[in-house]
Amino acid sequence: MFNILEILPKFSPIRVIDLGAMAIGDEVYAPLVKANLATVLGFECVQSECDRLNAMGREGHTYLPYAVGDGRERDFHECNYPMTSSLYEPNTPLLAKFQNLENLTQVVKKGRLATHRLDDMPEAAGADFLKLDVQGAEVDVMNGADQVLADAVVVHTEVEFVQMYKEQPLFAEVDQRMRKSGFVFHKFAGIAGRTFQPLVVNNDVNAMLSQMLWADAVYVKDFMALDKLTVEKLLKMAVILHTVYNSFDLALQVLYAHDAMKQTHLGNIYFQRLTTPA
């Protein structure tokens, strides 16, 4: 697909906030970084993982060792696999019913720590794109981020369909909280699960047969109220949708909203580029 920047005016860098920034592969926003379109503020409360991220020395990337939440002091459950550590206690009886989950979520250290509200951190102001991978604490983060959510145009968040961590909010609660902040559900960017013990599919303990357990959910500012966004936010939203998610139809609607504000023709140009054979 063509580079959307070819038809757009210049705009300031897209501000990405990465909550649960542990390096376990390419980030979802990697296309923005590779195109030099984004700066990244990451939070990773496992100190060794935060140190590893900062040691990479990537330009435009800053990582802070804070647990982000609603500002309360909480127990932090550090697990044998750092990626499964959480403010919530692993729900071992449930995890044990599935292949390759309980063994990845063994608590090795538990301690009290203060959580930090995004709205209280000046570094987080003006965010455009949020990525949340905080093992059940998504709603806690949102409850401390009303202003950050008001600024953002796209949120990519992990959600769970069953309580993999005790008393964690599930997809329904995340969806309600996002709608309260002016977002609508856009798409799932991936759905995962496991087989119930003892069955294994194709000798792959990570394979899903029927039970969906978690997913990555993408939320966007309400497409019925795009006129409430600034011109620059509309440009950034269109770029994120086009570049990260291949959501060309919604990106087109966003550009039409931009045109209505600025008396431009970006939507028509984008539509022609989308529909003209290469």
Model confidence, pTM: 0.96
How far apart CA 137 and CA 113 sit, in angstroms, is 14
Average pLDDT, rounded, for the chain = 95
Confidence of residue 88 (pLDDT cuts 50, 70, 90): very high
What percent of the chain shows pLDDT beyond 70? 99
**Is the confidence at residue 22, as pLDDT, over 90?**
no
The crossing angle, in degrees rounded to 10, of helices 266-275 and 248-262 is 150
Domain harbouring 165, CATH code: 3.40.50.150
How large is the average pLDDT for residues 250-263?
98
pLDDT score, position 63: 94
**Is the confidence at residue 25, as pLDDT, over 80?**
no
**Is the confidence at residue 246, as pLDDT, over 80?**
yes
**Is the confidence at residue 9, as pLDDT, over 90?**
yes
pLDDT score, position 277: 84
Confidence of residue 148 (pLDDT cuts 50, 70, 90): very high
Structural domains counted in the chain = 1
Please give the residue range of the domain that contains residue 208.
Answer: 4-275
Backbone angles phi, psi at 199, to 5 degrees: -70, 140
How far apart CA 211 and CA 169 sit, in angstroms, is 19
